[in-house]
Amino acid sequence: TALLKAAYNGHYHVVEYLLDSNANIHQKDKDGWTALHNACSRGYFRIVRLLVDRKAKVDVRSKMGHTPLNGWTALMWATTNNHESLVKLLLENGASAQTKSAKGRT
């Protein structure tokens, strides 16, 4: 969707416009990624803050590859990619550091 692409590419004002136009903040792509996953994986703090402020689910899981059981949260992506400010933001907004992937990773 346009929201997923805008979040992935770091287009803050487009994300803001789409959310103001009632875009589905919880929409997932075919791999189970949301706009929050996209923004966290790329390190776009302003977009993550906007999505969190608009009540994006901080513990939503994506799929790993083609296996729907291997889910990673936005927090896991932010941690893996060393986006410390995003990790802090997600934890402050209720993300669980105890959530495990299907392979038992936290």
At 43-78, the pLDDT tens digits run 888 998 899 899 988 777 666 532 223 456 777 777
DSSP code, position 69 = T
What is the rounded CA–CA span in Å between residue 47 and residue 56? Answer: 11
Q: How many CB atoms lie within 10 A of CB 101?
A: 16
Q: What is the pLDDT of residue 64?
A: 52
pTM recorded for the entire structure? 0.72
- Answer yes or no: is pLDDT of 11 > 60: yes
Q: Where do the domains of the chain lie?
A: 2-92
- pLDDT at residue 67, as a whole number: 25
What is the fold, at CATH topology level, of the domain defined by 2-92? 1.25.40
